[in-house]
Amino acid sequence: MDVVQLLQRHAGQWSRATRHPLLLAVRDGGLAPAAFDTWLAQDYRFVDALLGFQARLLGRAPRHAQAVLAGGLVALVEELSWFERLAVERDIDLTATPRPATVGYGQLLNELDKAQFPLALTMLWAIERTYLDAWSFAAPGAAAYRAVVEHWTTPGFAAYVDALAVAATHTQPDQAAVDQNLPRVIDAEIAFWDMAWESP
């Protein structure tokens, strides 16, 4: 599976997820702190769900994909600590009720638990690649958000996303299943930005 080709097949939708108005506002500084805080509390929930998904994926991974998934799991645990530090700094309640977009994305992850490994891995790559591209679009970010943008655009994160792409390239997901599920992942990403942007 050539994952780069996938981006080209879904380019229009992909750009709505990676060039969202919220990201432009992160870049130019126009983003309301409340919208950012909503995103942060909800993304904390999402990362927690992603950690569970990825742990289960590691449990059924073929030998070649174990290291990248295990490394990613450790990074996600650290990610949760990073959110917790930021929440203290910004006085954000991380126990906020999950919004529909967050619940919906969690349900999609639960469905991917039942998908064949090649498809689930390819979707994990898409989840992370979307995020890398989105934050790269917002770079360097206005002063208030610069540290957050840097966090999501580090060379380490980019290398991880590349390593997921290599692992996905070594699997053979069913093309029809990819074409059916990739738009669902990208839609979930767009809905996640919309949620914070439209109703902070």
| Residues binding ligand HMH (CB under 6 A) | 43, 46-47, 50, 127-128, 131, 189, 192
Nearest distance in Å: CB 151, ligand HMH = 10
Nearer to ligand HMH, 90 or 175 (CB): 90
Nearer to ligand HMH, 104 or 142 (CB): 104
Q: Are the C-beta atoms of 73 and 54 separated by less than 8 Å? A: yes
Nearest distance in Å: CB 63, ligand HMH = 24
Nearest distance in Å: CB 192, ligand HMH = 4
Nearest distance in Å: CB 137, ligand HMH = 14
Nearer to ligand HMH, 47 or 73 (CB): 47
Residue 130 CA: distances (Å) to CA of 133, 144, 163, 189: 5, 23, 15, 8
Nearer to ligand HMH, 46 or 197 (CB): 46
Nearer to ligand HMH, 37 or 128 (CB): 128
Q: Which residue is nearest to ligand HMH (CB)?
A: 131
Nearest distance in Å: CB 130, ligand HMH = 6
Q: Are the C-beta atoms of 147 and 101 separated by less than 8 Å? A: no
